[in-house]
Structure 1
Amino acid sequence: MPPLREEDEIRDFPSLGPIETQVIQVFVDGVKVLGLPRSIGEIYGLLFISPEPLALDDLVNRLGISKGSASQGLRALKTLGAVREIEIEGSRRSYYEASTELKRLVGGFIREQVRPHLESGQAKVGNLLQVAATEEDPARREFYDARVKQLGYWIGRGRFVLPLLQKVLGQ
């Protein structure tokens, strides 16, 4: 069995209890599948299982991550709609809590991550069709044309299915 890579290792959080640590690991595994940084899963996981909003410094101290990593992770999570900023009376610090609405989470991920890739992919398909048409070998040109059209079909279906997926998961 190959050794674990750093991003695959289960980190120990000495200041957290077992339920907090295990919930964080669930979200770390989830963001890994999505290709997002581990720290995003750690931050969201801690905010998700925390009964009260947490400040940036709380995240840094409890997770043992750098302030830069915590700040960058919070910014990404806010952009996705997964975290919201909370004002606490009498405090000048910003506090954060996890959004737990599936529709918002899925919608933010689709809006910020998936849809831009589908849109750029559709534009690339148009260019690929032009390039395929320049192939001199007729059999290869026909093969390329069929594959590029298949790719275009997949992208089109993805763009059609995304709003439906958002609606289904949000209700």
Structure 2
Amino acid sequence: MLVSAKQQAMILPLKRPGEDPTAEAASGLRSAALQALRDNIQAQATQGSTQVQESITGQATQQVNAAAAISDNVDEAFAKTRVQLQTTASSASEETSSALMEFKDYMSKTPEERLRDSILEEMGITEEEYEAMPPEKQLAVGQEIAQRMQDKAAMAQVEKAQDSRTDGKNPATDMFLASL
């Protein structure tokens, strides 16, 4: 059997509009459905954009409220810190003035009075306690203070004598240098 290489053309009869009522009805339904679908999509897009706008507006409002709350918290913290600093500054100035008064009192004393105060402190007795003691105890404490003052004076003289013998040189340093 021989097959022809030429293809035979098929000719379909052309239908004119208006000749096939079912085709026209289907075409009309299709275009109406497409139009309804387009309208529906457009309505959803409009509704969606409105919802997106409302969502964005809500988020922006929340962020503004959060920023305002943070700003209020910062202002409150700043106010508290300022009050604390003012309170601390006033108490610090009181402490500074009391320390300054103590220093001035100390510097106004003679070296003997300073030594007496340091000995009383070593003994664990305050000036007020010393003043409140009966005269016999004051005399005993006074003798102890005098004895300690003499001991310290003697120690100072011994140190001064050692310094003058070595002409300001340290004997330990001299021995170290000699060993080299």
| TM score, norm. by length of structure 1 | 0.24
Q: Which has the larger radius of gyration?
A: 2
Q: Which has the higher helix share?
A: 2
Tell me the TM-score normalised to structure 2 length: 0.23
Higher share in strand:
1
Structure possessing the higher relative contact order (Cα contacts under 8 Å, 6 or more residues apart): 1
